[in-house]
Chain A
Amino acid sequence: MQISLIILLIIVLQSDLILADTQNPMDAPDNRIILHGGDWDSFKLINAIASYILKNGYGYTPQIYPEPEKKVSESLSSRTVDISLEVWKENHPPELQNYIEIGAIIDMGKIYENAAHTYIIPDHVAQQYSIRTMEDMQHYWYLCKDPEEPTKGLFYNALITWLVHDSNLKKLDAYGLSPYYNPVTMPSSRAYEEVFMKAARENRTVFGMYWIPSAVMGTGYWKELEEPTLPSCTNETILNLNLVNANQSQICPFTSSSVHKLVSRDFYDSAPEVVSFLIALKPDENEISRTLTFGYLNNISDWDRLSEEYLINNEEKWKSWVSTDAYIRIKRTLAVNTDETE
């Protein structure tokens, strides 16, 4: 009796495995893919682009699962989410790298080649005053006076909860700017963006930190300032993925950030065609920034609509990410949606 049950169980399991191997995701009853969602625009856009491709090209049902950035290690390792497309590895504690090293999370490589945090002032101001480096800003604090303390300038820092917020304060000290500037902590990411976009709109002088890709940087209004390399900052510390977290006393210039695509181990093993797509997925950060700027200026808050905008304008780029069949399906869907919009 027991042997019969075991044989029956094996047959059932094998039939399931066979079905799973041959099943088309288009026909699968539960073909959801959970994408980690964040509260910054570039992440929202790249998630929308990937979702569009996965849905219309591969037949999956992508779902965005918003979670705090700091929880991505846990979420991926436990498969609460399948994919996180924009992981700024510098912002994470060593646990993330540990998960990657033991294979619980698979690193699919960089999504942007030149994503980075950066210090910016209006380009025309930089040209007018020949401002090139952060240290130069010691002399031009009066261009962005603090109305509450007019003897100092304003430096727009990040949100209080961001790790880079504290790093910026240390850098202001290190670059000799603290005596000249009062840091402004931003209450929200919307306000943060609005400060810089408003400055670009009204041709005002604002000094602060921002990042690429973003709508702000897509305006072309800004000049990225060079950071000095301090003696304490060696090549080794620059390469340290956890520079800020590991030792905040070591202040190094922002370099090209390690913004990676990560997937869970189970997902990596179960969806090879999606893995191929994810490996190839590598949009240009400037294209992303321009699309975000387009959305901001045209007051487009629908990320699906904005993803279509990107796909329409960057067809040659994303064509190389997907299979031929997927390309045809996505292209057809884009055409139908565009016609409907028009």
Chain B
Amino acid sequence: MKIILALLIPLILSLIILSTIGTNLINTGISDVAQDHQKSLAFQISMRLSDALDHYPGYLLSLFSDMRTWTDSNHIDQNINQINRTGMDLIFDQGIGVYTDSGKLIAHSSWQNTKWENLSPLLVKSLIATRTAQYTSLNKSIKLPYLSVFVPVITEERGVIAIFEGRISPEYSLFGSRLIDILEIESGSAGYALLIDGEGNILYQRFQGDIYEEIGSKLTSAFQDDVIRDTSSTVIRNDITGKDQFAGYHIVPGTNWAVIAHEDRKAILNDMDQYLYLTYLLIGGVFIVSIFLIVLLINQFLNPLRTLLNGVRQVREGILEPYPFPPYHDEFEVLTTEFNRMISVLKTSFVDLDSSRKRYQTILNQASDGFILLDEKTLSIEESNRMSHTITGYSANELKNRQFVTLFDEKDAKKFKNIINSLTSEGINGEVEARLRRPDNKQIFTEIKITRIIIDTISYFQVTIRDITDKVVAEEKIRKGIQMLAKNQETLAILNDQIRNPLMVIALHLDGIEQEKEKAIMHEISRIDDIITELDRGWLKSDKVRNIMKKHYDINVEELH
């Protein structure tokens, strides 16, 4: 399960990260393309508008084609008030005015009740300087807002000789109908195009698609932001829809008007969206393939692995029998076969090992000495053989982990520790006789030999312990016997000296004594001497015995005295 999770979680996380990054990258790309497209759209519409606006100054000039009569106000009035026949009132529906080159009003139409006055010097100066027609912003000071187109009348000889003004209601004039057609978004798509004047007034707006009709009024106010108007060509974000949406912005050449245009991304970027969907499809495909691979992995790898782990677990539990693996027809077949073969070999090895162990255990247990293995640092008992149990009187379990020194009298324990210290510091094996107190409180004499051994890089002290109680008792008896012998010898020596000397004196004093008596005394003296000789021989034998004993049992002569 953990392995599955370990595979699935990184996979899913990777897919999520990849999906997010991929989608963001594509969206960023699409956004860039969308931004460029909106810019391009605004540019194209503004160019079309510019072309259309070029015609209107010409329409005004066409009303006064006879330049020779332009100063004749009566003639001008006649011209102005007859433009109904030409239909120009449908374009300049809010009236027409004529000014001198200094901006003084000469004449104006009278079919609309609008206010007329002289032109501002600034406007006149600009018209004379640029010699091109100028479109104004929306004049909203009256009930029916209008915009004006000012056209300088230019002759080759005299330059600007007059200025014409055509007033246009964006909503009601034919001018508006033409421009609304030009503000066209690509047919069939959704979007909007707005024409705004220099003051941010919406002159025309064209929406295509339900969503824009709904948000039209809000959108209009959003596009009156200074940031938009102050930027010559840029891409802005529309917060009205709450989505990342961009609109192109472009000044209409020859005017201070601008176009804001947007075409819905879904409509213009179908291809890009298709790539996006393709990416989603690919990610989905990768996900499905990954799931398939995981299932495959589980079936082909994880399940056999789990079975193999069960086999290992069986071995760990000490069951050294071949595990019943199902048949695999791949590398797992080899692996499981080898595993079971390994188990068989292992089992044989264990049997051999156990047999060896038993043999060595038997040998060890048959030994007449006790063998104890001590931990080097703690001096606690690690292992012990049967004889050590016999000697100490403790069972194997009782000895296990027991401090070895606690088996001995405190006095002997010190000797033991000294030997350990010298063994540790100088590496000299030690030997000591110590009195061991058994659990029944009986004290025995032991002979202990300590050596240092290393098993698998771990140092131990190996202790050989031997019960020498009988030996010690025998030695004591011998020692006492020798002492007794020495005492007897001393007695004999005394006896020899104190008997033989008087005998010599007696023998010296026999001259003169009856022969028979002398003979009888001499006989008795000889017999006593023989007895003393026998005693001397006994002494000599005792002395030999004593010397041998002294030699072999290391008894000082002094001790014997």
Contact = CB atoms under 8 A, between A and B. Distances in A.
Interface of A: 68, 70-71, 145-148, 150, 154, 160-161, 184-188, 190-191, 194-195
Interface string B174-185: 101110110000
A191 B176 contact: yes
B180 A187 contact: yes
A147 B90 contact: yes
Contacts of B172: 190-191, 194-195
Given A147-B59, A148-B59, A160-B180, A187 B204 contact: yes
B509 interface: no
A161 B214 CA distance: 13
A145 B213 contact: no
Given A148-B91, A187-B171, A70 B177 contact: no
A185 B180 contact: yes
B404 interface: no
A68 B214 contact: yes
Given A147-B174, A185-B180, A190-B171, 8 more contacts: A68-B213, A145-B87, A148-B55, A160-B181, A184-B177, A186-B180, A187-B171, A187-B177
B207 interface: yes
B88 interface: yes
Interface residues of B, number: 23
11 contacts: A71-B210, A146-B87, A147-B90, A147-B91, A148-B59, A150-B86, A154-B90, A160-B206, A185-B180, A186-B180, A190-B171
A4 to B, nearest CB: 46
Given A146-B87, A148-B55, A184 B213 contact: no
Interface of B: 55, 59, 86-88, 90-91, 170-172, 174, 176-178, 180-181, 204, 206-208, 210, 213-214
Contacts of B88: 147
Contact of B174 (A68, A71, A148): A148
Contacts of B181: 160, 185
B171 A191 contact: yes
B210 to A, nearest CB: 5
A187 B87 contact: no
Contacts of B180: 160, 185-187
B210 A184 contact: no
Nearest to B52: A148
Contact of B208 (A70, A145, A150, A161): A161
Contacts, number: 51
A269 B170 CA distance: 48
Contacts of B91: 147-148
B213 to A, nearest CB: 5
Contacts of A145: 87
A184 B178 CA distance: 7
B304 to A, nearest CB: 53
Nearest to A67: B214
A147 B87 contact: yes
Contact of B86 (A70, A147, A185, A186): A147
Contacts of A191: 171-172, 176
B213 A187 contact: no
* Residue of B177, B204, B210 with highest tally of chain A CB at under 10 A: B177
A71 B210 CA distance: 8
The 3 A-B residue pairs with the shortest CB-CB distance, nearest first, are A147-B87, A184-B177, A187-B176
Contacts of A185: 177, 180-181
* Residue of A145, A148, A161 with highest tally of chain B CB at under 10 A: A148
Contacts of B87: 145-147, 150
Contacts of A187: 170-171, 176-177, 180, 204
Contacts of B170: 187
Nearest to B183: A160
B171 A188 contact: yes
Given A187-B170, A190-B171, A191-B172, A161 B178 contact: no
B24 to A, nearest CB: 32
A184 B171 contact: no
Contact of B177 (A68, A150, A161, A186): A186
B466 to A, nearest CB: 87
Contacts of A160: 180-181, 206
A187 B194 CA distance: 12
Nearest to A70: B210
Contacts of B213: 68, 161
Nearest to B208: A161
A161 B216 CA distance: 13
Contacts of B178: 148
A12 to B, nearest CB: 40
A171 B207 CA distance: 24
B207 to A, nearest CB: 7
A286 B372 CA distance: 128
Contact of B207 (A71, A147, A154, A161): A161
Given A147-B88, A190-B171, A191-B172, A68 B59 contact: no
A3 B206 CA distance: 62
A70 to B, nearest CB: 5
A14 B174 CA distance: 64
A184 B204 contact: no
A71 B212 CA distance: 13
A190 B171 CA distance: 8
Contacts of B177: 184-187
B34 to A, nearest CB: 23
* Residue of B90, B174, B207, B214 with highest tally of chain A CB at under 10 A: B90
B535 to A, nearest CB: 125
A67 to B, nearest CB: 8
Nearest to A39: B213
A68 B216 CA distance: 11
B49 to A, nearest CB: 14
Contacts of A188: 171
A195 B177 CA distance: 12
Contacts of B55: 148
A150 B210 CA distance: 36
A68 B215 CA distance: 11
A186 B206 CA distance: 11
Contacts of A150: 86-87
Nearest to A166: B187
Nearest to A194: B172
A34 B59 CA distance: 50
Nearest to B55: A148
A200 B176 CA distance: 21
Nearest to B87: A147
Nearest to A202: B84
Contacts of A186: 177, 180
Contacts of A147: 59, 86-88, 90-91, 174
A205 to B, nearest CB: 10
A187 B208 CA distance: 13
Contacts of A146: 87, 174
Contact of B210 (A68, A148, A194, A195): A68
